[in-house]
Structure 1
């Protein structure tokens, strides 16, 4: 078969295998990248043998890693990198050094390697985590903007940059210390010069180039120019002995500060996804299933050592830099694998004679297994914390009790409006309220956000908005209202719940990042839940309806009705199963439990409002399943309890205990005034799903 035609057949085979594997993984509710890796292993040289030449496919797969990191650079930006600069530079650097040091000491002591240089090489391989797998998993779960997501990406960026040092120093490892020092110095000079050149290019060249491309008004030319820029810088870094992936990431950072960053990302994403699938499939092709099976015990032992060791190094480091224990644990679990760039180091080390073929294959097998296992671990983390919350002896360690790191000098004396989260929404709100001379206090845990608040003179609390001491210091007990505009759903829910524990009657406006969270946030006590995409649709529709001549009063009435219905008309229509799955997904990271009401339960015949459940127990009912199988998702206050009902309740261990006592009649239900009961008339339609 002609070589050119062979490459086409190989590409078609690998993309088809990746597509089939991704589809099967999706049907099995697993991450698609797992299907890509398995698909590559099946058609690779050690599987069915449909693909025999790996070099051309691996070369194309590098484009996948390059485009993945290019898109990361465009999305991440220097501004985002500054938010976690301390943990990324300090924590990431310490993590690499500690991993190399610990690995060298252990491997030399137990005889895994013959020389300290080989131990350093092994430590360098183990110190790298998988940017591609972690980034893909965070994107699929929409967690790239969360605190743990930012921490992990910041550390991964430093690891990727360190690859250039490692590749430069690697050939000198078996030489005298003086030559190793010169190699390190040479690598530092190269990276420093490249950084200076990249900064100059990013400031003076890239914005002008993008404006020139955009002025052609041709999507094809814009895409061609951006791809050329990305791969051109990637080739420069490869020529400097750093890595193609590092150059692509830096190219993305350059574009991230330009005005056409969003347009660039929209054009590149389809290409990125195709080549990323090829990249993960190429990783799968490196796996030798027979070698894995023959050395399964040894490889599983190595995988366990890697996960435990890296977790034990990363978790304390993240905690040391002032992040909550939960964030530290998630980062430790999420980064406790060996990265795809370790393949590059391992291959180079084998060529230099630093490792034997057997050790090389063991490294490949261990790395591949950790990459496959990582998406499962990241998806199991919410369930892990759900279990931890149900164990009182463990739960007390995870209570968000971190004090404020800093409090501004000019906290208003009069009742303020507390804004949690100083992203774009928080900044706009603070500006608008300040123009009306309304006192505000902003709560945020990003150093860059706090610096902007210092410069603007806006009162702030530097700390985790989920922490009860931080919220207390913000003055919730005397606040006029509160706004929650945090980047991730978990922090939003916990912040809302803890705020109402401090001030049960507080008027709280919450931003729902996803429409699936709207009802849960209302159920947890939010006074108003705003969904940005739905609000944009309403504003655009209002403008258009005014233009075509509809009365303004009629438009406002319709918009108000949609908001009062919690955007029900705008939500995608879902099946019963999807509705139930949304509840399961929304409450996944929360302590939840089903309770079946007994024949003698005092709740029978009472409504949720008349039972005064939230005030008496602090728990929240998010679903009621009737005896005939019908289910009421997010029941309102007028929903009554019937014989045979089962209630899905979320709350802390103490709140669950109090609810259990209430269902058994060990806590009496007070008689509420008629005015309260009339707030929830029977005319309210229950959202029953049969």
Structure 2
């Protein structure tokens, strides 16, 4: 077969295998990345041997990394890089240095290597994490804008930049110290000159060139020009002795500051995805399953050492830069693998004689296993935190990490609006509220955004908006409303749920990151959910309909009707099985369980509105599976609970325990005509320091005290020996007359601040 044609056959084989592997992984609900790697193993030289031109395929696969990093640079931009410059430069540099130093000392001490040069080489390999794998995992989960996503990407950028320096130093490792110093100095000079040239080109060359390409109004020419810029700069860095990957990333950064950055990203993304799958399949082709099996114990031991070692280095470093413990833990777990660029270093080290072929194969095997495990580790992180928070000792440390890092002095105390997230949407909300004289409190976890808030003179809380501590400091209990515009779905859900724990009647509007999040957020208790893409469709349609003559009131009624229906008319119809899968995937990241309703449960026969589950227990009911097998996802307030139901409920451990009490009849369910009210106990109230038994409201007024909110604790169905303290918020349930009689008799001078609750189906 002709050589050129052979390469085409090999490319088609790899892409077809990658598509099949990715499809299989998706059907098995696994990361598609795993499918690409396994496809490479199957068709590679150590598998079925279908690929003959392995070197050529690997060369083309480099385009995958180049386009991945180019797209990352376009999305990341210099402004984004500035947000994490401290942890990027300081933390990334320290991480590489410490990893090299620790690896050298340990490997020399245990006799793994015979010279310091080999120890430094091994440390350099272990210091690099996988930009491609971590980036793909973050993008699939829409978490690139989260604090931990930004931290990981910032450290990865520095690691990628350090690759060029490492490649320059490798040939001189076994030479005298003077030669190593010269090699490092020359590499730094080259990098500095290239950086200056990139900044100059990004200001004076790239923007005019993109404008010229855009003026042609030809999609093909624009794409061709962008690809030429990307690969041209990548080849230039390769020629300078740096790396192709570094050049591609810098090319993306240069374009990110131009006005056509979004258009560039849209055009390049399909190329990126195709070549990225080729790249991951090419990594799979390097894996020798027979060698892995024969050395499985050694490789698994090395994998464990790598994961634990890098985790123990990265996590304290992130904490050192004042990031919360959870952010540090996620970053430590997410970066605890060996990166794909380590293959480049390992190959260079083999050719220079720094390692034997056996050690080279062990490095490849260990790297491959860590790359495969990383998506699973990142997927398990939410469950690990849920488990950790169920243990009192670990929960204490995790809660301490969620305390506010800084609080403004001029926080409003009541009737204000809390805005969580100070991105573009959050800034616009704050501006509109301020223009109309409404007090606001901004909550954000990004130091650079908090600095913008300080410069604007706004009240703020610097901390995690999903933390109960932060939300309480923001005065959610006394707020008039709340807007949630956070960058990732998980933080959005937790922020919403915990805000409603503090103030169940709070008017909360939430930005949905994706269409599939809409019903989930409504079910968790949002009063209004806004999806930007659907809102843009409504506004565009409203303008066009008004232009063709439809009366404005009729348009407004129709638009509001679509909003009230949760955009159902705009969302494509999907099979119930698909909705059910999405619901299960979302609740897996939260603390959830399927709960069989007891046979004699007092909840049987009641509607969800009557049970008022969220207000009484804090639990959210996401789905009902009937005894006959039918499943109701996102049940509404009119849904009736039946005998034999299995309920998919979401909540913290104490909330699930409280729901169990309620469902078993161990806690009282409000009567049919009962209403519930929160009251706040003031310092001079006559009931302060009295136990619930001494108050005896159950016998005297026929009132149940269903819950006590005290600082950061939520006591559900409190026992009679619990005493009332100043500042407590009590949830009372009984008839309206009894509630009025009780509060009047014990608080004739308004010693209690009554917080009425109107039960709304949108909150159930």
1:46 counterpart residue number: 46
Contact map agreement 2:413 2:475 (CA 8 A) in 1: no
SS of match in other structure, 1:569: coil
Distance 1:31 1:3 in 2: 34
Contact map agreement 1:400 1:467 (CA 8 A) in 2: no
1:547 counterpart residue number: 547
Deviation at 1:503, TM superposition (A): 2.4
Contact map agreement 1:386 1:588 (CA 8 A) in 2: no
- Cα distance change of structure 1 residues 564 and 400 upon mapping to structure 2, 3 Å threshold: farther
Contact map agreement 2:609 2:637 (CA 8 A) in 1: yes
Distance 1:16 1:127 in 2: 33
Q: Which has the higher contact order (CA 8 A, sep 6+)?
A: 1
1:404 counterpart residue number: 404
The C-alpha deviation readout for 1:278-326, integer Å capped at 9, x for no partner, is 1111111111222222222211211121112112222222233233333
2:123 counterpart residue number: 123
Distance 1:56 1:414 in 2: 67
Deviation at 1:46, TM superposition (A): 2.0
2:621 counterpart residue number: 621
2:665 counterpart residue number: 665
SS of match in other structure, 1:587: helix
Matched, 1:380 2:380: yes
Matched, 1:172 2:172: yes
The C-alpha deviation readout for 1:648-674, integer Å capped at 9, x for no partner, is 211111111111111121211223647
1:271 counterpart residue number: 271
SS of match in other structure, 2:668: coil
- Cα distance change of structure 1 residues 390 and 594 upon mapping to structure 2, 3 Å threshold: farther
Distance 1:11 1:440 in 2: 57
Moved more, 225-234 or 185-194: 185-194
Distance 1:399 1:519 in 2: 29
- Cα distance change of structure 1 residues 270 and 578 upon mapping to structure 2, 3 Å threshold: same
SS of match in other structure, 2:443: strand
SS of match in other structure, 1:644: coil
Distance 1:600 1:502 in 2: 31
Aligned positions of 1:534-573 closer than 5 A: 534-573=534-573
2:707 counterpart residue number: none
1:431 counterpart residue number: 431
Deviation at 1:215, TM superposition (A): 0.9
Distance 2:543 2:104 in 1: 66
Matched, 1:496 2:483: no
2:689 counterpart residue number: none
SS of match in other structure, 1:399: helix
Distance 1:33 1:636 in 2: 38
Distance 1:200 1:410 in 2: 43
Moved more, 60-69 or 50-59: 50-59
Deviation at 1:115, TM superposition (A): 0.8
Contact map agreement 2:6 2:53 (CA 8 A) in 1: no
Deviation at 1:158, TM superposition (A): 0.9
Contact map agreement 2:500 2:525 (CA 8 A) in 1: yes
Distance 2:192 2:90 in 1: 18
1:111 counterpart residue number: 111
Moved more, 519-528 or 215-224: 519-528
2:514 counterpart residue number: 514
2:37 counterpart residue number: 37
Deviation at 1:253, TM superposition (A): 0.5
Q: CA RMSD in A?
A: 2.2
1:653 counterpart residue number: 653
Contact map agreement 2:383 2:591 (CA 8 A) in 1: no
The C-alpha deviation readout for 1:338-360, integer Å capped at 9, x for no partner, is 11100111111111111111111
Deviation at 1:147, TM superposition (A): 2.2
Distance 1:38 1:643 in 2: 47
SS of match in other structure, 1:499: helix
Deviation at 1:124, TM superposition (A): 0.4
Distance 1:285 1:524 in 2: 45
2:4 counterpart residue number: 4
Aligned positions of 1:143-154 closer than 5 A: 143-154=143-154
The C-alpha deviation readout for 1:177-220, integer Å capped at 9, x for no partner, is 22222222222221111111111111111111111111111111
Contact map agreement 1:416 1:481 (CA 8 A) in 2: yes
Contact map agreement 2:414 2:480 (CA 8 A) in 1: no
* Aligned residue pairs, count: 684
Unaligned runs of 5+ in 2: 677-734, 737-757
SS of match in other structure, 1:482: strand
Distance 2:28 2:501 in 1: 40
1:262 counterpart residue number: 262
Distance 1:111 1:570 in 2: 65
Matched, 1:420 2:403: no
**TM-score w.r.t. structure 2 length?**
0.86
Distance 1:599 1:502 in 2: 32
**TM-score w.r.t. structure 1 length?**
0.95
Matched, 1:70 2:70: yes
* Structure of higher CA gyration radius: 2
Distance 1:2 1:374 in 2: 40
Distance 1:674 1:498 in 2: 25
1:60 counterpart residue number: 60
The C-alpha deviation readout for 1:354-402, integer Å capped at 9, x for no partner, is 1111111111111112112222222233333343344455444433753
SS of match in other structure, 2:569: helix
Moved more, 227-236 or 328-337: 328-337
1:364 counterpart residue number: 364
Contact map agreement 1:128 1:339 (CA 8 A) in 2: yes
Matched, 1:477 2:477: yes
Contact map agreement 1:390 1:591 (CA 8 A) in 2: no
- Cα distance change of structure 1 residues 559 and 571 upon mapping to structure 2, 3 Å threshold: same
The C-alpha deviation readout for 1:219-273, integer Å capped at 9, x for no partner, is 1111111111111111111111110000000000010111000110111111111
- Cα distance change of structure 1 residues 90 and 399 upon mapping to structure 2, 3 Å threshold: same
1:250 counterpart residue number: 250
Distance 1:457 1:413 in 2: 17
Distance 1:307 1:236 in 2: 35
Matched, 1:583 2:583: yes
Contact map agreement 1:401 1:467 (CA 8 A) in 2: no
SS of match in other structure, 1:584: helix
Aligned positions of 1:225-240 closer than 5 A: 225-240=225-240
Distance 2:577 2:318 in 1: 39
1:642 counterpart residue number: 642
Deviation at 1:614, TM superposition (A): 2.1
Distance 1:640 1:389 in 2: 33
SS of match in other structure, 2:638: coil
Moved more, 262-271 or 504-513: 504-513
2:94 counterpart residue number: 94
Matched, 1:201 2:201: yes
Distance 1:613 1:40 in 2: 50
Distance 1:396 1:619 in 2: 22
Moved more, 387-396 or 351-360: 387-396
Deviation at 1:83, TM superposition (A): 2.1
1:300 counterpart residue number: 300
Contact map agreement 1:461 1:470 (CA 8 A) in 2: yes
Aligned positions of 1:676-687 closer than 5 A: none
1:347 counterpart residue number: 347
Distance 2:16 2:497 in 1: 47
Contact map agreement 1:638 1:680 (CA 8 A) in 2: no
Contact map agreement 2:207 2:258 (CA 8 A) in 1: yes
- Cα distance change of structure 1 residues 10 and 624 upon mapping to structure 2, 3 Å threshold: closer
